[in-house]
Amino acid sequence: MTVTVTPLSAALGARIEGIDLRQTVTGAALAALRRAFRDHQVVCLPGQKISAANQIAFCALFGAADSDYKVSAQRTETDYRKGVMLVSNVRKNGVPIGNLPDGDIQFHSDGCHRDRPYLATTLYAIRVPRGGGDTLFANLTAAYDALDADTKARLDGCRIHNSYVLDATSRDEVPRPGAVLHEATHPLVLTHPDTGRKALYLNRLMSRWIVGLPREEGAPLLDQLLDHVERPEFIYAHKWTPGDFLMWDNRCVNHARTDFPSDQVRLLRRYTISESAA
Ligand code: SIN
């Protein structure tokens, strides 16, 4: 079958048709997929009907599939077993079957609060609400390119300090007593290992301060950059259809989620991809 790649927006993202993820992706199809991922940063393969095992096999094409999530003991069905992270508002016996909270989530990059962030994230839509619950993607490479030369020079060599308490959806949330704070610093301007292009690697949910700048200089600059990376021209809003399978590159893309009605089911399966051990 011929593989077609169609841009999803002027900002980023491409829709890929002609690949069935129940089969191992090889040869020209895999080459097209890798090229589209590199060029568009977010890929959407619609109309899929895949198991967790298919999703893990896909992840392994790009790195190491992360499958050691701790999940609720309430999960018994095959797809709800240990190691599968669901993103859902469904409760079973009053306990959420998913690992993320409901409602909207501010822009972030998965794993930037860890020393080794996730290379990519995959999300497979099983059930979606009739409206809302869109996933927004922001192109951090375009955001960097749009900065003026003075700002680029100011950011050169700076690092960003990120912190996150699990289940936070907004930077202003006050952590529960005893909650564990996960922290890491990374280059504020990240050079992509495959393309050599620079991305403005910071996000509203987790980025706290610019390391190495005095607070009176760093705090307003951080605020300004957080607004900058969320400018509409850098963003694509994905409206989900069941069967959509998405993968995005956390090294150059932030994502966020819009709110959705709590009485409508939203159920997606998520695996992140880490760099393979050398
Ligand atoms: C996430 O922030 O990782 C979840 C995205 C989504 O539910 O659309």
105 lines ligand 1 (CB under 6 A): yes
CB 184 within 8 A of CB 162: yes
User: Which tokens sit at 205?
Assistant: 């949910």
Distances (CA, A) of 222 to 113, 123, 143, 162: 17, 29, 14, 12
CATH number at residue 72: 3.60.130.10
Cα 198–chain centre separation: 18
Helices (H) and strands (E) in the chain — how many of each?
5, 19
Q: Using the predicted structure, report yes or no on whether residue 81 has a pLDDT greater than 50.
A: no
- Apex CA 147: angle with CA 141 and CA 153, to 5°? 105
Atom in ligand 1 nearest the alpha carbon of residue 121:
3
> Which tokens sit at 64?
């190491």
pLDDT at 251: 98
Q: Which two tokens stand for residue 231?
A: 């400018």
User: Cα(78)–Cα(252) distance, rounded to whole angstroms?
Assistant: 33
pLDDT band at 92, cuts 50/70/90? confident
- Look at residue 69 in the predicted model and tell me its pLDDT: 56
Task: For residue 24, give its domain range.
Answer: 4-274
Question: Which position has the higher pLDDT, 74 or 12?
Answer: 12
Whether pLDDT at 20 is above 50: yes
Best residue for ligand 1 mutational test, from 102, 113, 122, 123 (most atoms within 8 Å of Cβ)? 123
pLDDT tens digits, one per residue of 205-240: 999 999 988 999 999 999 999 999 999 999 999 999
Number of domains in the chain: 1
pTM over 0.85: yes
Cβ–ligand 1 distance for 87 under 6 Å, the answer yes
Q: Using CA positions, which residue lies closest to atom 8 of ligand 1?
A: 135
Tokens of 11: 């900002």
Contact 241, 229 (CB under 8 A): no
Integer Cα distance of 42 and 33 in angstroms: 11
Give the CA distances from residue 49 to residues 5, 34, 76, in Å, rounded to whole numbers and listed in that order: 20, 21, 21
Question: pLDDT for 145-184, tens place per residue?
Answer: 999 999 999 999 999 999 999 889 999 998 888 888 999 9
- The answer to whether the CB of 135 is under 6 A from ligand 1 is yes
- pLDDT, the chain, mean: 92
Q: Which atom of ligand 1 is nearest to the CA of 240?
A: 8
Q: How many whole angstroms separate alpha carbon 245 and alpha carbon 124? A: 4
